[in-house]
Structure 1
Amino acid sequence: MPQRRIVTGRSQEPRQRFAEELRTLRSSSGASLRQLGERLGWDWSLFGKMEKGETLGSPEVVQALDTHYGTPGLLLALWELAAGDHTQFRERYRRYMELEAKAVSLWHFAVSVLPGLLQTPAYAREVLSAGGLKGKELEQQVEARMSRRDLLEGDDAPPFRTILSEAVLRTPLRNVGEWRGQLEHLVEVGERSGVALQGLPLGAGLHGLTNATVMFLRLADGSTKAYIENGYRGDLIEENVLVERMQRAYDAMRDLALTPNESQKFVQAMLEETLCEPST
């Protein structure tokens, strides 16, 4: 395992320190940039730009590097210092990412936006653009988000349930063709054996999670954690009493949702509506 290095006087500038650590870890591993890209599944040129300090990359990419080099949390901590105080990527986010990777089952509720695990590149790009990202940083974030979809693929993928507010399904992308592609992707994912997709009609009224997008994670030890987020921050909830209260609210809300079969028909009907609209 590579040894963590002490911050020295010549590398106290956060961005330079981060790039320096990336270069040193890769050099110590004996891998080329191209080999690193092949092993982690990202374009090798991204790692080259990160090592030059031209870009910081996304937290998903940095977490993958931490795992690859056996430096849990080190690179992500340096990334945070270089990126500034981004609240949504502080300690709780790192903890959430670690737990998500270990979860044996996941269940989710979306109040306004599709979960990243179900987004197409076009959807992710428009959502992230609305949040202020642009240029190379935008494309890197889109790529990183797409890589997380692997969590739901393969024979060992954990069971995943998502309940989508009708508002999520009725808020289209600006481009009709891209929105059609997103709906087609939802239909395809909803047909997987390990995925349950349900719609929550607006007519269901208010419920205990009206103002919250939340992901529940069941771990191998039987415990459940919850992650609540909005467009600006996320909070990992580990207190048993609060998680249990949120779980009861989720269960009550689930009773108001359409069945997976009904939800598939609803999405299919929306998809058919888009076929009548010209692509822009």
Structure 2
Amino acid sequence: MTVRTARDVRDTRTGRRTAKPKDEGPDVPGAWSAYGVLLQHLRKRAGLNQQQLGDAIGYSLEQVASVEQGRRPAKAAFTVAAERVVKAGGVLEVLQGEVDRAKLPRFFRNFALIEAEAVSRFDYEPLLIPGLLQTERYARALFAGHCPPLNDEVIDQHTEARLGRQKLLTRVPLAELSFIIGEEALRNPVGDMEVMRGQWQHLLEVGASRNVEVQVMPAECGFHSGLNGPFVVLETKEHQHLGYIESQEVGCVVHDSAEVSAFGLRYGKLRSQALNGVESARLIERLVGET
């Protein structure tokens, strides 16, 4: 029996084994590479070197080089400034959404694309505050506690991407959004109590929006149809209904109509068992007052 190592690759045409290049780098999102190639082309067309572009937009030579090489994603402020200096005509701004989406964990990117254009979204989360409702400090505390550990740059990227998804809360036309959050999620101290106090206050503010409903599933509810775990039911702009489930960094978009229908029935049952919006706000207000 032949034992193959991680560097041992068989050519599918010849059957011969070839070694993977030793200098093969980390997997770089295609959107970052495409943006970088386009930026380099536009910079050269404008007659600028990397240092000159950096000076003109307020970024270092290293930052410009990293973006052009696809090693670092461009932030929105970088893109706005670069558009102006190299006279890009909006082509870099068109790519910005894809660049931002590639900051998300790989398993979530496909659903994020669907989510961004949803007309309605119903989310049950028993143990954590849903991502669309998280404050920056709460989200950062979650990513900082990741196992295995993430480096600081990846934590920054994931946090930025999560906050970027929250445009759905205020997007025009407004989406109809409902969140049922387990009381355990509210009481679980992610970060410290200052982080949690800010998170509770944020829930009260967002829950006051006319297109957002926040309900709390009380801990003493006993048996209910959400004990199998979190899930999302979503309606696309084509009025197709989809489900989404996620656990241990494995995400699955559910298309089967019977399965999605079952999700919808469970969510309706959960809404009837959870505290209503007013009662939920009062519970969260009590938590704020206790700290």
- Shorter-chain TM-score: which interval? 0.7 to 0.9
Contact map agreement 2:217 2:273 (CA 8 A) in 1: yes
> Which secondary structure does the structure 1 equivalent of 2:238 belong to?
coil
Over 3 Å counting, the alpha-carbon distance change for 1:134 and 1:157 in structure 2 is farther
Q: Structure 2: which 5+ runs fail to align?
A: 1-20, 76-90
* Residue identity opposite 1:265 in structure 2: R
User: Per-residue deviation at 1:22?
Assistant: 3.4
Please tell me whether residue 100 in structure 1 is matched to residue 126 in structure 2: no
Over 3 Å counting, the alpha-carbon distance change for 1:148 and 1:29 in structure 2 is farther
TM-score of the aligned structures, taking structure 1 as reference length:
0.73
Please tell me whether residue 262 in structure 1 is matched to residue 279 in structure 2: yes
Alpha-carbon deviations, 1:201-240, whole Å to 9, x = none? 1221222221321121112332211111124211110110
Tell me what 1:61 maps to.
Answer: none
User: Per-residue deviation at 1:51?
Assistant: 3.2
Tell me what 2:40 maps to.
Answer: 27
Tell me what 1:68 maps to.
Answer: 94
* Residue identity opposite 2:135 in structure 1: T
Tell me what 1:227 maps to.
Answer: 244
Tell me what 1:216 maps to.
Answer: 233
* Residue identity opposite 2:37 in structure 1: T
* Residue identity opposite 1:23 in structure 2: G
Structure showing greater radius of gyration is 2
Over 3 Å counting, the alpha-carbon distance change for 1:251 and 1:168 in structure 2 is same
Contact map agreement 2:73 2:100 (CA 8 A) in 1: no
TM-score of the aligned structures, taking structure 2 as reference length:
0.70
Over 3 Å counting, the alpha-carbon distance change for 1:20 and 1:108 in structure 2 is closer
Contact map agreement 1:25 1:69 (CA 8 A) in 2: no
Over 3 Å counting, the alpha-carbon distance change for 1:150 and 1:17 in structure 2 is closer
Distance (Å, rounded) in 2 between the aligned partners of 1:170 and 1:69: 40
* Residue identity opposite 2:173 in structure 1: D
Over 3 Å counting, the alpha-carbon distance change for 1:136 and 1:104 in structure 2 is same
* Residue identity opposite 1:103 in structure 2: A
Distance (Å, rounded) in 2 between the aligned partners of 1:189 and 1:257: 18
Alpha-carbon deviations, 1:130-155, whole Å to 9, x = none? 11323121122112211111110244
> Which secondary structure does the structure 1 equivalent of 2:223 belong to?
coil
* Residue identity opposite 2:111 in structure 1: Y
Q: Tell me the percent identity.
A: 26
* Residue identity opposite 1:164 in structure 2: I
Contact map agreement 1:57 1:137 (CA 8 A) in 2: no
RMSD (CA atoms): 3.7
Contact map agreement 1:163 1:198 (CA 8 A) in 2: yes
Tell me what 2:17 maps to.
Answer: none
* Residue identity opposite 1:26 in structure 2: L
Distance (Å, rounded) in 2 between the aligned partners of 1:89 and 1:17: 9
* Residue identity opposite 1:235 in structure 2: C
Over 3 Å counting, the alpha-carbon distance change for 1:197 and 1:14 in structure 2 is same
- Considering fraction of residues, name the structure with more helix: 1
Please tell me whether residue 206 in structure 1 is matched to residue 240 in structure 2: no
User: Per-residue deviation at 1:96?
Assistant: 1.4
Tell me what 1:164 maps to.
Answer: 181
Bigger mean CA offset, 250-259 vs 131-140: 131-140
* Residue identity opposite 1:105 in structure 2: S
* Residue identity opposite 1:123 in structure 2: Y
Q: Structure 1: which 5+ runs fail to align?
A: 1-8, 38-44, 59-64, 81-85, 275-280
Alpha-carbon deviations, 1:90-111, whole Å to 9, x = none? 4xx4431221112111110011
